[in-house]
Amino acid sequence: MHCDPRFSRVREVFERHFTDGEELGAAFAVYLDGEPVVDLWGGVADRHTGRPWESGTPAFAYSCTKAITATVLLQLAERGLVDVTAPVADVWPEFAARGKGAITVEHLLTHQCGLPVVEETVPVEEFEDQAAIAARLAGQAPLWEPGSAHGYHALTYGFLVGEVIRRVTGKSVGELVAAEIAAPQGLELWVGAPDTVIARTARLKAGERPQTGTDAGPAVTETGRSRDVLGEIARAALDPQSLMNRALGNPGMHRLHGGANNPVILRAGWPAAGVVTTARGLAGFYRSLIAGDLLRPETLRDAIRPRVNGPDRVLLLDTSFGLGYMRPSLTFLMPSGTAFGHSGMGGSIGVGDPERGLAIGYVMNKMANALSGNLRGLRLVEAVYDSL
Cβ–Cβ < 8 Å for 374, 43: no
Give the pLDDT of residue 237: 84
pLDDT at 373: 60
- Give residue 228's pLDDT: 73
Rounded Cα distance between 197 and 184, Å, is 18
| pLDDT for res 221 | 40
Give dist(CA 330, CA 372) in Å, integer: 9
Contact 290, 149 (CB under 8 A): no
Model confidence pLDDT, tens digit, residues 258-294:
999 999 999 999 999 999 999 999 999 999 999 999 9
Instruction: Indicate whether 213 pLDDT > 50.
Output: no
Q: What is the spatial distance between Cα 68 and Cα 58, in angstroms, rounded to a whole number? A: 16
Quick: pLDDT tens for 354-367.
Answer: 999 999 999 999 99
Q: Given CA atoms 152, 308, 319, 265 in this order, what sign does their dihedral have? A: positive
Residue type at 85 in one-letter notation? T
Return mean pLDDT, the chain: 93
Whether 281 maps to a domain, the answer reads yes
Tell me the C-alpha to C-alpha distance, in Å, between residue 114 and each of 205, 228, 237, 342.
Answer: 32, 24, 20, 21
Whether pLDDT at 229 is above 80 = no
Residue 236 has pLDDT above 90, yes or no: no
387 is catalytic: no
Rounded average pLDDT over 17-31: 97
Phi/psi at 350 (nearest 5 deg)? Answer: -125, 135
Query: What CATH number did the domain enclosing 258 receive?
Result: 3.40.710.10
User: What's the burial of 179, exposed, middle or buried (CB within 10 Å: 0-12/13-18/19+)?
Assistant: exposed
CB atoms within 10 A of CB 386: 12
Number of domains in the chain: 1
- Is 377 within the bounds of a domain? no
- Residue 132 structural domain: 55-325
Please check whether residue 242 is in contact with residue 233, taking contact to mean a CB–CB distance below 8 angstroms: no
> Which range among 20-24, 223-227, 288-292, 313-317 shows the weakest confidence by mean pLDDT?
223-227
Q: Is the pTM of this model over 0.75?
A: yes
| Over residues 180-206, mean pLDDT | 98
Q: What digits encode the pLDDT tens for the residues 312-322? A: 999 999 999 99
Looking at the domain assignment, is residue 20 inside a domain? Answer: no
Instruction: Assess if residue 289 is contained within a domain.
Output: yes
Question: What's residue 50's pLDDT?
Answer: 97
Q: What is the percent of the chain where pLDDT is above 90?
A: 89
In this structure, is residue 21 part of a structural domain? no
Please tell me the predicted confidence (pLDDT) of residue 119: 97
> Is residue 370's pLDDT more than 70?
no
What is residue 215's predicted lDDT score, i.e. its pLDDT?
A: 36
The more confident residue out of 223 and 204 is 204
d(CA 265, CA 261): 7
Strands (E), 176-250: 189-191, 219-220, 226-227
| 273 within domain boundaries | yes
Angle at 53 between CA 50 and CA 56, to 5 degrees: 140
Asked if residue 1 belongs to a domain, the reply is: no
Query: What secondary structure letter does DSSP report for 214?
Result: S
Poorest-pLDDT segment among 138-147, 211-220, 274-283, 326-335: 211-220
Please say if the pLDDT value at position 222 is more than 50: no
Whether 369 contacts 211, CB under 8 Å: yes
- Transcribe 137-164 into DSSP letters: HHTSPPSS-TTS-----TTHHHHHHHHH
Q: What digits encode the pLDDT tens for the residues 27-63? A: 999 999 999 999 999 999 999 999 999 999 999 999 9
Q: Give the residues across from 41 on adjacent strands.
A: 27
In the structure, what pLDDT confidence band is assigned to residue 369 with cuts at 50, 70 and 90?
confident
The string of DSSP codes covering 354-376 is: TTTTEEEEEEESB--B-SS--HH
- For the cut 80, the answer to whether the pLDDT of residue 155 exceeds it is yes
Please tell me which residue in 63, 288, 329, 372 is annotated as part of the active site: 63
CA 131 centroid distance within chain:
20
Is 280 a member of any domain? yes
pLDDT tens per residue across span 321-350: 999 999 999 999 999 999 999 999 999 999
Instruction: Kindly report whether the peptide bond that precedes residue 251 is cis, defined as omega within 30 degrees of 0.
Output: yes
Residue 93 and residue 138: Cα distance in Å, rounded?
9
